[in-house]
Structure 1
Amino acid sequence: MLNANKSKDELQDILKGKEYQIYYDDHRSIILIWWEKAKEWLGEQLAKLFPSIETASGAAAPILITLIIVVIALLGWIMFLLIRIRKRNRMMRVQKPLHSMKEMNWSSQKHLSEADRQEALGEYTLSTRHMFLALLFYFHEKEWLEARIWKTNWDYYDELRKVNQLWADQFYHLAYFFDEATYGEHTVEKEQYIQFRSEANKLLGETDKLLDR
């Protein structure tokens, strides 16, 4: 019992000791120490940039907080973009735009006519599908790519960029919207379809002009 009390007293003496308190305080306030050093450094930089400012150290704290918020927001935005790009690429590499031999047997002009018919009915998701397939089979008919049921839009993009990188990039953008509408359970609104149709027709027009030269 005496030994137990003695050990307890010794432990309390150690905890009250100067060395332990310094160790405890240093580790407890490491973030505070870092914060003070960061403010001091930023205050020095502000003083160098604006010598006339006497309260550079006082202005450092709110500026530092703002910078931290901006950096966190920027990192969050970058992560969002990276996740979105990864999702887009994965969808492009997995999903196949052609579902049946019937679609394979249609010409680009027939897909265009079907896109117009579905648009008139207000079926903009189906219109998007046939408008995209019209573009795909137009490139197939020009022998810039080879349409096959087993191919993904990434395969078509890879083939098309060997012909024209700009067209391939525009096709990639349209293919992503097509995949979202077809596989992403995204209901296409009228305004979205009109924008999609305009970009697809623009790409068709650019290729037509090149062929007419």
Structure 2
Amino acid sequence: MSNVPMWSEDKERLVDILSTEEFTQSSKAGEGWIEKALDYLLELIARVFERVDLPTEAAGTVSTTVVVVAILALLAVIYWTSRKLMLHSKKERALFTQGEKIRRHTDYLLEARQLAQTEEWREAVRHLFLALLVYLQEKSWIRIEQWKTNWEYMEEIRHNHPAMQEVFRRHARIFDQIWYGQKTIDEEVFWKHVNELEQIWREEGHHG
């Protein structure tokens, strides 16, 4: 007995799941690869089960099991591929340019202000985030390394100065959205963050 109609329905169910926004955004460059992988996987399984005569009551259970296994397998591939693309993207848009010498946090803050005045918002956000990172390093709360992620910096802050966790989380979120996510910065939010850092540094006697 052929189970091709059953596999066709399962394929449609799986495509519906994998075509939702959270999956399709994982790789614009590889648009359509999910459907191709799905075609190959389900057709391979269908060919195997076409040779097996299953009782009617067992067919539904087998079908559901195969769909679940297929989903898990494809999610693993999607996760691995999206991680690889994300790392590649971040490498191309590294926080520090090659050979860039780390300066004082006040230097980065001044440049962030100047860049904002000329509406170079992405670079302004980068310099503002650098000002925060360099300040944290000057206080010995983190150690800046090219390979570290913001989550790793967060762990260092949690161990060394927990009071700065929320400040760092807000600034890191905005930085990721603008620098890596290509979103547009809200001018009001930018200046709010500038004022927040200046206030912190004034209170600790480290501004200017």
User: TM-score normalized by structure 1?
Assistant: 0.49
Between Structure 1 and Structure 2, the one with more helix by share is 1
Question: TM-score scaled by structure 2?
Answer: 0.50
Structure (1 or 2) with the larger CA radius of gyration: 1
